[in-house]
């Protein structure tokens, strides 16, 4: 009997991956292609959408060649993508009209502040579950239409299409036959009403964004179409789509209300499954759609930390304190503490729970005795502090005592970081044995729709992980750490914390 497989695309902020999974949920092969980061001005971040497509296509072809798997034996394709990143393209030529504006980009801060000071602010929070911030797609679309020749006129004529990266990939995979997104990605645009499950006319009107730009919104687990046969020599069903963080939540098998995961990637993204309950945070966390499945949607609370693992890349690439990111674990363990040093990596402002677009990174507590080991340790600790800020408020919002934190992402390989996280948060930290959890979640969603796996119960049996450690510090020590962190953040923020 011929073995069948699922292929998952994990289109991230710095690279495009393609991963093939078998029925046991194990990785059969994977390929990865990096692409350029474009920084036109301070605080601006862009990608070339054509390069994203080229690298994603190259990764797919490489993993198929590497494994010698026939495309006819791929029963479903799942997509996980960097969220909020905004592409606008011409529906007739298929060419982008501007670079993709990346989720990290802060260029629309001024417009967001206008919204924050308007009567629409509370409505956006209630309808979309988000806050008015440059992070989300809505104001990025407005900026593109304002800064390309005849942008608004072309949009009103119906010549332009908008999509997050999943939409852009599906458009190219189907040679322009499908312009779709899923519930999870739609919920990250600041244009989608997560109560009514529809694009919101009031917000669209305020931003003057024609509805004709927007993709059709589909369930996250659904055979919605097939790839064009000319691309791979076979029509592969496109059966799963989810924003990368929701995909990771699914890949961690966080199917039960109250389960929490954190992905330590470029940023940190902490999500708690809240099931059918759309919980409105009283503490500046986001309410978002986790996924659309089984003829309905499930929700999540989310805290988005903009700079997570990227702070270690900064030490490596900009300051030259490290040769590789992996060295950070060794350096951090060479000193017993940070010698009073705190780093607040607010390089692109601060996300949850501060939502300060003007905050900027600082290093505080420096004395003559501070050295590179202290700085590296402080950088790693900053990732755990930011995560803890969110975890504490999730527990407060829901009344649920967190039993464990499931973790994945590149920085989750760092044992020092995970131990400090367990110490700081007072809960066990569980690291997945499968490193490609985001891709796994996309594969799970596609596999369910394609009938490759029967149901979530079967997926739970595939889930693997192990506990790293419980907290081993006293409550007094924990409070001392947190007090120092709060003081450091207060110095980095534009508004009073």
Confirm or deny that 56 is annotated as ligand binding: no
Count CB-CB contacts under 10 A for residue 424: 22
On whether 356 is known to bind a ligand per the annotation, the reply is no
Owner of token pair 């046969």: 229
Question: Residue 232 has which token pair?
Answer: 């791979």
The answer to whether 287 and 194 have CB atoms below 8 angstroms apart is: yes
Residue 135 in marked binding region: yes
Question: What does R_g of the chain's alpha carbons equal in angstroms?
Answer: 22
Whose CA is closest to 178, among 138, 223, 140?
223
Residue 421 labeled ligand binder: no
Q: Which residues pair with 180 in a beta bridge?
A: 216
Residue 410 annotated in ligand binding = yes
55 has binding-site annotation: no
* 266 known member of a binding site: yes
Measure the CA–CA gap between 314 and 293, rounded to whole angstroms.
39
Q: By the 8 A CB rule, do 359 and 346 touch? A: yes
Give which of 218, 289, 281 is closest to 249, Cα–Cα: 289
Q: Is 244 annotated as a binding residue?
A: yes
Q: Is 313 annotated as a binding residue?
A: yes
95, HSE (Cβ side, Cα atoms, 13 Å)? 2
152 is in an annotated binding site: no
Cα distances from 296 to residues 183, 195, 291, 338, in angstroms, run 10, 12, 9, 48
The answer to whether 182 and 241 are in contact (CB under 8 A) is yes
Look up residue 214 and give its DSSP letter: S
For residue 209, the tally of other CB atoms under 10 A from its CB is: 23
Provide the sign of the torsion angle of the four alpha carbons 392, 396, 398, 404, taken in this order.
Answer: positive
Strand partners, 21: 6, 27
**Is 17 annotated as belonging to a binding site?**
yes
Q: List the Cα angle 440/61/51 in 5-degree steps.
A: 90
Structure tokens at 240: 């799963």
Backbone phi and psi for residue 28, each to the nearest 5 degrees, phi listed first: -95, -35
CB 198 within 8 A of CB 119: no
CA–CA gap between residue 267 and residue 411 (Å, rounded): 10
Is residue 66 a known part of a binding site?
A: no
Residue 265 labelled as part of a binding site = no
Helix (H, G, I), strand (E, B) or coil at 117: coil
* Partners of 304 in the β-ladder: 269
Residue ranges of E strands in 60-191: 74-81, 87-90, 100-101, 160-163, 180-182
* Token couple for 68: 């010698």
Annotated binding residues for ADP, written as ranges, equal 13, 17, 266, 309, 410, 414
Annotated binding residues for ATP, written as ranges, equal 13-15, 266, 309, 313, 410
Annotated binding residues for sn-glycerol 3-phosphate, written as ranges, equal 13, 83-84, 135, 244
Annotated binding residues, written as ranges, equal 13-15, 17, 83-84, 135, 244-245, 266, 309, 313, 410, 414
Annotated binding residues for glycerol, written as ranges, equal 83-84, 135, 244-245
């Amino acid at each position: 009997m011929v073995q069948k497989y699922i292929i998952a695309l994990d289109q991230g902020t710095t690279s495009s991956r393609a991963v093939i999974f078998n029925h046991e949920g194990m990785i059969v092969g994977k390929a990865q292609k990096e692409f350029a980061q474009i920084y036109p001005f301070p605080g601006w971040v862009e990608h070339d959408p054509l390069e994203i497509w080229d690298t994603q296509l190259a990764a797919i072809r490489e993993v198929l060649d590497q494994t010698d798997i026939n495309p006819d034996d791929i029963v479903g394709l799942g997509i996980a993508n960097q969220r909020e990143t905004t592409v606008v393209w011409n529906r007739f030529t298929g060419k982008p009209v501007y670079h993709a504006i990346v989720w990290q980009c802060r260029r629309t801060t001024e417009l967001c502040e206008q919204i924050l000071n308007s009567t629409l602010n509370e409505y956006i929070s209630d309808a979309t579950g988000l806050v008015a911030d440059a992070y989300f797609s809505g104001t990025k679309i407005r900026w593109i239409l304002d800064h390309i020749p005849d942008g608004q006129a072309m949009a009103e004529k119906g010549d332009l299409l908008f999509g997050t990266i999943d939409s852009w990939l599906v458009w190219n995979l189907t040679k322009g036959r499908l312009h779709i997104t899923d519930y999870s990605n739609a919920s990250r645009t600041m244009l989608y009403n997560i109560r009514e499950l529809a694009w919101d006319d009031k917000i669209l009107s305020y931003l003057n964004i024609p509805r004709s730009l927007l993709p059709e919104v589909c369930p996250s687990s659904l055979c919605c179409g097939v790839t064009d046969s000319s691309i791979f020599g076979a029509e592969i069903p496109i059966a799963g789509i989810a924003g990368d963080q929701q995909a990771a939540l699914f890949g961690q098998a966080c199917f039960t209300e109250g389960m929490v995961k954190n992905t330590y990637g470029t940023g940190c993204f902490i999500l708690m499954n809240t099931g059918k309950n759309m919980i409105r945070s009283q503490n500046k966390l986001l309410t978002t759609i986790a996924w659309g499945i089984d003829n309905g949607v499930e929700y999540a609370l989310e805290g988005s930390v903009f700079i997570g693992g990227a702070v270690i890349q900064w030490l490596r690439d900009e300051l030259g304190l490290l040769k590789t990111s992996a060295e950070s674990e060794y350096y951090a363990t060479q000193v017993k503490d940070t010698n009073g040093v705190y780093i607040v990596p607010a390089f692109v402002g601060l996300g949850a729970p501060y939502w300060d677009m003007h905050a900027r990174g600082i290093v505080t507590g420096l004395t003559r005795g501070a050295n590179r080991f202290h700085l590296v340790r402080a950088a790693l600790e900053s990732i755990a502090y930011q995560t803890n800020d969110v975890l504490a408020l999730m527990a407060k919002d829901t009344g649920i005592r967190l039993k464990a934190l499931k973790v994945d992402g590149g920085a989750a390989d760092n044992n020092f970081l995970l131990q400090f996280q367990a110490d700081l948060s007072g809960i066990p930290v569980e690291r997945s044995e499968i490193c490609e959890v985001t891709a796994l979640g996309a594969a799970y969603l596609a596999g369910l729709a394609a009938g490759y796996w029967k149901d979530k119960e079967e997926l739970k049996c595939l889930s693997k992980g192990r506990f790293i450690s419980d907290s081993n510090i006293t409550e007094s020590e924990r409070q001392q750490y947190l007090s120092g962190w709060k003081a450091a953040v207060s110095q980095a923020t534009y508004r009073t914390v």
